[in-house]
Structure 1
Amino acid sequence: MNWTLEVVPVPVTDLDRAKEFYADGCGFAVDLDDEVAPGVRIVQLTPPGSRCSVALISGMPQMPGTRTMTPGSLHGLQLCVTDIEAARAALVAAGVDASPVRHVGPAGWAEGKGGAWNSFLSFEDPDGNGWIVQEAPSELSER
């Protein structure tokens, strides 16, 4: 049996604002924007090349055994790209406040690219949910 991570809920205060940020700012494809039940709206978006989507949801009753997520409380979601400088340029051109490219050096974080798997940038959505982008070697892009 395979267990695949397909959808990650992202807590936001304004679905339309978040949809615009992820679609227009980050280039995610809008897969679904629908009222799936009276008063329950789901916007599902997928990063280019990914099988895993994010879901922006309003009006959904809390599932038993889960906790309510506060908008802006999700941190550490990580995207991988094969060209971090191009990814940063695309984010900035779309109006996203992306950090400079950084790597981990002998004294901690340092600006600029590092070696394989050691180049990162970060950004936040309008609610403060935090994302990390990491450069992965291009030979792994087909996984």
Structure 2
Amino acid sequence: MDFKLELIPVPVADIDRAKAFYVEQVGFHLDHDVRPSPTVRVVQLTPPGSGCSIVLAAGLAGLAMPAGSLRGLHLVVADIAAARAELAGRGVAMGGIQDMGGIKFSAFQDPDGNTWTLQEIPGRK
């Protein structure tokens, strides 16, 4: 039996602001933006090359979390310097690159304060 992690809720206060950040600045693909009822909205976004997406949602009690409370989501990249430069070039405020014994990290946050980390693992494709 496979158990695939394919969708992670990201708690935000303003879906439109967050959607613009993830699509325009971080480069995520917009999978869908639906309003199945007047009080519910679901926006699904996928990082380039990823099999796992994020969801920004309003009106779904099962996904309710304080905006900005998510910490340490990792985006694994082949070349952290190039990925960091690409995001910085799109206006994302990036932290420096830290080498933790061969595994490299660089952090950023979305407009609500949810934190993300770029991670480069040597030899991993």
1:69, distance to aligned residue in structure 2 (A) = 1.1
SS in 2 for 1:140: coil
- Structure 1 segment 1-143 matched on structure 2, within 5 A: 1-60=1-60, 62-63=61-62, 68-104=64-100, 115=102, 118-137=103-122, 139-141=123-125
RMSD: 1.4
Q: Percent identity?
A: 50
**1:72-127 deviation line (CA, Å, top 9, x unaligned):** 100011110000001111111111001011113xxxxxxxxx62xx1100000000
Aligned partner letter, 2:27: G
Query: In structure 1, how many angstroms separate the alpha carbons of the residues matched to 2:85 and 2:35?
Result: 34
Q: Shift in Å at residue 37 of structure 1?
A: 2.6
Distance 1:43 1:85 in 2: 29
1:47 to partner: Cα distance: 0.4
TM-score (norm. length: structure 2): 0.94
Aligned length: 125
Larger Rg: 1
Once residues 85 and 36 of structure 2 are traced to their aligned partners in structure 1, the CA distance between those partners, rounded to angstroms, is 36
Moved over 6 A (4+): none
Structure 2: give runs of 5+ residues left out of the alignment: none
Shift of 1:133: 0.9
